[in-house]
Amino acid sequence: MTPLNIPEWQSLVRHYSDLKYVSMREQFALDSDRAQNFLVKSGDLLLDYSKNRITKETMEKLVALAQSVNMNDWVERMFSGEAINNTEGRAVLHTALRNRSNTPVMVDGKDVMPAVNAVLTQMKNFCQQVHNGEWLGYTGKRITNIVNIGIGGSDLGPAMICDGLEAYGVEGISVHFVSNVDGADLSTTLEKLNQETTLFVVASKTFTTQETLTNAQSARAWFLKTAKQADVAKHFVAVSTNAKAVAEFGIDTENMFEIWDWVGGRYSLWSAIGLPIALYIGMDNFERMLAGGHEMDLHFRNQPLAENMPVIMGLLGVWYINFHGAQTQAIVPYDHSLARFPNHMQQLDMESNGKVTNREGQRISYKTGPIIWGTPGTNGQHAYFQLIHQGTQLVPVDFVLPVNSHYPECDHQSILLANGLAQSEALMKGKNAEEVRAELMAEGYEGKALEALLPHKVFPGNRPSNTLLFPQLTPEMLGQLVALYEHKVFVQGVIWNINSFDQWGVELGKQLAKAIVPELKDGAEISPHDSSTTNLINLIRTLRK
């Protein structure tokens, strides 16, 4: 099935032709209720989507598109445990990990909630032991540093949450994340730590991930400089399903935390992959985060499509990507602790919807996932905002704005919020030639000098943005935000008729890398490659000498 042939899609094509030159500034002037008409809430989270190139008719047509692809049915199929990940034959149940209502969720006739709850209990008991000083290092000292060794979903999500919830950190506990197989990542982390007080969490579902295992083995070698092999079990735990490999590494399988094949890596921070989060902020706060995610799940599952925050955001993304020709989406959090939020969203979106094949295995001819990027405001304003305001590309922006800071002793929040609001207003309104001329004349410009400068200071405006506003970045709110974007990505995958839950594009480079590693040794036989790769292998061998 291609969405291009759906009547509702074709209706949007015609609507875009009618609307493409309509100005948001004019729309606001004509409709004093516009801000209220394009606003939706979920708990304390508010989405203002009024600064988008839409009318009431646009949203009606977009919702009709969602209805035409049976969006509500797809949502139910996911929540009920159907194997909607068709290429791997798996259910998609990250929602079960945060199912605080504890209602049964069936996979192959079996309720998964008892297993989910058992792992949460295991995590809670372990965190309490570490925090209470019952779990001690091999010399009897308390654990003060947690090092998570993982990559991809076993790193980006947990690292982002720990940064975001730094204000909730347990006293006396620091957390570090090592993911890059570049030795500098591990070395610069370990040089600040002490073997006696460091606990490693090795996160690998299969316990075979090359980068993770390489880093874990080097971490163990560093640990064994002062300790014995028998002491490894006091300083290493695992999130995995491979008990044999975990035990061979030296980890007690009693301290192996289970994860299931229906949990995709980029959706796994809600699972035992979130163990470093729970160790850092405490299990009570981890469960508050789960509750926030569950609140967004209930909203997504139960609210009508026209009042559904993930659906609205997903449809707006389709509107810009497929009808306006946008290729990227900027996510700009006005909160320094959310510096890694765009990174996690990058993996979530691009690994999910970066596909050129539909569910039926046919090559598609329309655009799917956008390039996701962003940094915290106000830093971005002094970097890439020039292009967003006056460049030739259309870049929709999500502004993420907490009203209250966890750090009131630095009274900067009003300036921070004002900048976020001003950027969204400036993107929408722009500045026309008449306004620039009046401004330059007031500054004393006239004649040729004025006319020469004038075009450079014109802002076209009509640049779209969403504003996500909330009282404060709490565990519940961060849980809501992450779940919101997860569901937004799913909505777009349904519209595009792609499987958002596999990631075959990650595999090929990893397979080729395994073949190349031994070939970098001087004298080793080099298997057939293209001439460029073969030449580069030989150059590396020469330079290593």
Known catalytic residues?
A: 351, 382, 510
Query: In terms of Cα–Cα distance, which of 109, 110, 105, 103 is closest to 94?
Result: 105
Residues 6 or more apart in contact with residue 32 via CB below 8 angstroms: none
Whole-angstrom Cα distance, residue 536 to residue 527? 13
Which residues lie across from 125 on neighbouring strands? none
Three-class SS of 215-256? HHHHHHHHHCCCCCHHHHHHHEEEECCCHHHHHHHCCCHHHE
Whole-angstrom Cα distance, residue 470 to residue 459? 29
Answer for the pair 116, 99: CB distance below 8 angstroms, yes or no.
yes
| Alpha-carbon 10 to chain mean position | 31
Whole-angstrom Cα distance, residue 149 to residue 144? 16
Query: In terms of Cα–Cα distance, which of 501, 340, 314 is closest to 396?
Result: 314
Residue 544 Rama label (left phi>0; alpha psi -120 to 50; beta): alpha
Write phi, then psi, for 388 (nearest 5 degrees).
Answer: -65, -40
Query: In terms of Cα–Cα distance, which of 44, 45, 58 is closest to 12?
Result: 58
Owner of token pair 């800071």? 405
Contacts of residues 19-28 at CB distance under 8 Å and 24 or more positions apart, as own/partner, are 19/53, 19/55, 19/58, 20/324, 22/53, 22/55, 23/461, 23/462, 24/51, 24/52, 24/53, 24/428, 24/429, 24/461, 24/462, 24/464, 25/428, 25/429, 25/430, 25/461, 25/462, 27/55, 28/428
| Alpha-carbon separation of residue 176 from 171, 172, 201, 309, 479 (angstroms) | 15, 14, 10, 33, 21
**3-state DSSP assignment of residue 2:** coil
Residue 537, amino acid: I
Residue 61's H or E segment, with its range, is: helix 56-68
